[in-house]
A and B are shown apart, each in its own frame.
Chain A
């Protein structure tokens, strides 16, 4: 137990004037220090593979989508942001999404979909900015979600790295 010390004001402190000058001197000293404010839109936020931006669907090098529309990400999403309809395909994976919508206004960027996906098909990109003129435009469909896997590679490696256990 440590009892906090209550201070009694000294004569100088009671006068208050010295405190004003202390405050002013601090303000003036600040002028010559490095500025910490970030000029946001001009100076973009630093992003790296740890950044959990908006989820994106990985597309193989041959242009086919990795997702097999298993619905795990839909089940894992706490914000009910994902809607999937599956369809058959002639490709080896047999199923692919006919419709894959993520409502970006609902998405809370939690990364649960990425964690749940058994096909490395949905990954958190480093894209953070989100603005549009209507709500409908912010429901992203497959075409808007597709990203070449090469672009998502750093994130994919990171996810494998942190999930290496047991």
Chain B
């Protein structure tokens, strides 16, 4: 069967020059409350027939002023706010923010904390990619996938619930490490999940990769060339889908990622289908990293919180028994001042490079906190790849760009 290619040139969709409606556009709004926009995103489009001549992504409906809030909230109290940036992977956000503060304060985190952080980040990444897979496939009509991926995600959330006490918005990372260590029960749950998970990924792939509808609706849709991807400062699976090998875990390792054995999947064409394949492969790689981290846990004993009396709360038993520790407790809770200076820390989140840039003037509040949200750049790419295509492609494009509005608008 020969595949047909269409020439989607804007304004030229209707070749019949006698048609009085030819070239006339109609303005259509999609969102802000649309199930396929994954949050409150409004798309203003000019349609010529079914072709999108102009697409504008209008962000800001979920703006909560996070960066400004930080300036009056203080360093430690901003942690719960980072959870609510990209709420499908709160722990990665927590860790990114904590890393910026640790850089600023010059704190070395203990080796065990690093291992647990890697473990949590990879598990969160799997959860985030599962959401991508579920939501983007239900947008294209594959309802079975949605339920299957959410069933798996539920397992991850049960693990996080057993570890942190919350399913979402975990807030379990602190400056200098983590609030609590992983115990045997959680370790067992994680191991059980991670060992059965690759088989589940194969099943997901079996349902989608060779599925005619999924194939036709994603293949050669939303092609981003490597140059364009870099020019638009796209990161994460989108950049890798376009064939650029760039992953902070390999290129600028943090948390000891250089010691783990994993590969970075890259695509060749840069369409929605490649981005899907990259994310699926990333889930397998994340699973591999998480298993390695799990195996390292027993070889790295020790605390998960650095010993630093300037910035980290003293242990509870000592607070109850010694005056100095009690004073330290009061001092740190009410007035946690980080040294003057600035620091940037970037982590590879499931959406791309998530960066926190903190400027401190030596007081208890950040002078400025900037969040480099990968989702915002991903949204910027919508006009680039959607203009000139058919209206129905926008759903596949939005799904494959995989942004969370909590982070885009922040």
A: which residues have CB within 8 A of B?
1-7, 9-10, 13-16, 19, 22-23, 26-27, 36, 48, 50-52, 70, 72, 75-79, 108-112, 115-116, 118, 120, 124, 159-160, 162-166
Contacts and interface: CB of A to CB of B under 8 A. Distances in A.
A38 to B, nearest CB: 9
Contacts of A13: 210-212, 215
Contacts of A10: 210
Contacts, number: 130
Most buried by A among B165, B166, B304: B165
Most buried by A among B81, B206, B334: B334
Given A1-B263, A27-B144, A165-B315, A6 B268 contact: yes
B342 interface: no
B266 A78 contact: no
A75 B313 CA distance: 14
18 contacts: A3-B267, A4-B265, A4-B267, A13-B211, A13-B212, A75-B333, A76-B77, A78-B73, A78-B77, A78-B81, A110-B169, A112-B171, A115-B179, A115-B313, A160-B316, A160-B317, A166-B303, A166-B315
Nearest to B155: A36
Interface stretch (B272-280, B347-355, B388-396): B272-280
Judged by DSSP, the binding face of B is: helix
Contacts of B314: 166
A75 B334 contact: yes
Contacts of A9: 210, 212, 215
Contacts of A7: 209-210
B307 interface: yes
Most buried by A among B268, B313, B316, B326: B316
A131 to B, nearest CB: 19
Nearest to B302: A165
B212 A14 contact: yes
A110 B80 contact: yes
Contacts of B333: 72, 75-76, 116
Interface of B: 1, 73, 76-81, 144, 151, 154, 161-166, 169, 171, 179-181, 206-207, 209-213, 215, 245, 263-269, 273-274, 277-278, 281, 303-305, 307, 313-317, 319-320, 326, 329-330, 333-334
B210 A72 contact: no
Contacts of B80: 78-79, 108, 110, 112
A118 B319 contact: yes
Given A5-B277, A162-B180, A36 B151 contact: yes
Given A13-B211, A14-B1, A112-B76, 20 more contacts: A1-B266, A4-B266, A6-B269, A6-B277, A7-B209, A19-B210, A26-B144, A26-B207, A27-B144, A50-B161, A78-B78, A78-B80, A79-B80, A111-B165, A112-B171, A118-B320, A118-B330, A164-B317, A165-B304, A165-B305
Nearest to A11: B1
B91 to A, nearest CB: 14
A79 B161 CA distance: 22
Contacts of B163: 50
A5 B78 CA distance: 42
B171 A159 contact: no
A2 B77 contact: no
Q: List 4 tightest A-B contacts by C-beta distance, closest first.
A: A52-B165, A162-B180, A78-B77, A4-B277
B212 A19 contact: yes
A118 B330 CA distance: 9
Contacts of B151: 36
B181 to A, nearest CB: 7
A115 B320 CA distance: 13
A10 B218 CA distance: 17
B330 A72 contact: yes
Contacts of B154: 36
Nearest to A75: B334
A112 B172 CA distance: 10
A120 B329 CA distance: 13
Given A4-B266, A78-B79, A118 B179 contact: no
Contact of B329 (A5, A16, A118, A165): A118
